[in-house]
Structure 1
Amino acid sequence: MKKLIPISIAILFIAVIILFVMQCNVSKECAAPAGKAETPAIRADGTDLTIAYINTDTLLLNYQLSRDLNEELLKKQEDARTNLNQEARAFESEMQEFQRKLENNGFLSRDRAEREQQRLINREQELKDLNAKLSNELMVRQQEISSQLLDSITIYLKEMNLDKDYDLILSTTVGGTILHAKDGLNITGEVLDALNNRYKKKK
């Protein structure tokens, strides 16, 4: 019987969520004229881009909303596994009882034995269907959580950027695409503190 798919800290899948391009310049373009090697770092008017980045591993591990949603998902997974295991144990007992009766000629007729066998076959299919249903419910909830976290983070970044006016806010993970940057470009701590403060006020 297939096991439930592992979810645990699967919400880290949204570590690629924020490749977040915002307000580049008056023309809304972040590219310099074609053919210039410095294009990725310069606006069309020749001025430098203002860039920051967020480490989403750190953000999601320490954002209280992410922690709470992850805890909820883990509990849902544990409940689903417990429910499925109970049903599986009951089915196993029924199978053992059927085998015992079959070996000891405990059925009054062959027809009765065949009907019980068919019932167990149907029961096994019900368990497979239950496993698929519970797994699907967990995946759907995981997607909902990912979407909720994405909305929470990007909505805050839009509000924050009204004052900060970054041209680009990038997302990275440990060992991700940003291997080195000046200290001032990492705004993870600032964003994390603000998100946690907002979440605390809403609770």
Structure 2
Amino acid sequence: MKRLNYLVNGLAALALIVLFSQCAGKADNQTTNASAQAAGLSGMKIAYVEIDTLLAKYNYCVDLNEAMVKKSENVRLTLNQKAKDLDRQKQEFQTKVQNNAYLTQERAQQEYNRIAKLEQDLQNLGNKLQAELMSENEKNSLQLRDSINAFLKEYNKTKGYSMIISNTGFDNLLYADSIYNITREILDGLNARYSSPKK
């Protein structure tokens, strides 16, 4: 019986030793993996681009913004002109109604319906023009992003960065040494590649 206890205790001790050595081996592997990952990270080449500066000074973006401002202003002027004309017609209608200028109630109702339709048409036109502006703005944003991404892909073929991060003010990047800032290089490259349309 004593012998059986010694045997069971011995097997239990052996199992604990084997278990402990496996856990220690895994810990060593994890430490080795963590060291390898840290070494891999330390070998990464990282840079950042200040998006605010890029958008303010990239000629393509400036041209797109100017074109959108002009279109937006044209839409505003068109809608304002039509609204003034509609207001004038409403005033004339009101004056005629007050002066009993319409021969019949039916004729006054026709004029009222015509003006109401003009008002609805103006509202529909405003909605349509605003939707077109938003759609064009979205399209411009995609083209701008594609332009920058295409340039970065080409640029990085020779520079070999592992990662290029965008920074907007203090939103994404809280601190980085300025040696990692490649905004000027990217901006110069983008502007050199872009030829502005004749104005």
TM-score by length of 2: 0.78
Aligned-pair CA distance for 1:200: 3.5
Equivalence map 1:1-203=2 (5 Å): 36=34, 42=38, 45=40, 47-200=42-195
Amino acid at match of 1:76: K
Q: Which runs of 5+ in 2 are unaligned?
A: 1-29
Partner of 1:14: none
Report the Cα distance in structure 2 between the residues aligned to 1:50 and 1:89, rounded to whole angstroms: 60
User: Helix, strand or coil for the counterpart of 2:49?
Assistant: strand
**Identity fraction in percent:** 41
User: Helix, strand or coil for the counterpart of 2:173?
Assistant: coil
Partner of 1:29: none
Distance 1:107 1:92, change over 3 A: same
Partner of 2:17: none
Distance 1:68 1:166, change over 3 A: same
Report the Cα distance in structure 2 between the residues aligned to 1:156 and 1:122, rounded to whole angstroms: 51
Runs of 4+ in 1 over 3 A off after TM superposition: 35-39, 200-203
The answer to whether the 8 A contact 2:86-2:119 is kept is yes
Report the Cα distance in structure 2 between the residues aligned to 1:147 and 1:110, rounded to whole angstroms: 55
Distance 1:197 1:58, change over 3 A: same
Alignment root-mean-square deviation, CA: 2.4
Report the Cα distance in structure 2 between the residues aligned to 1:134 and 1:201, rounded to whole angstroms: 26
Amino acid at match of 1:56: I
Distance 1:100 1:37, change over 3 A: farther
User: Helix, strand or coil for the counterpart of 1:58?
Assistant: helix
Amino acid at match of 2:95: R
Amino acid at match of 1:176: D
The answer to whether the 8 A contact 2:52-2:168 is kept is yes
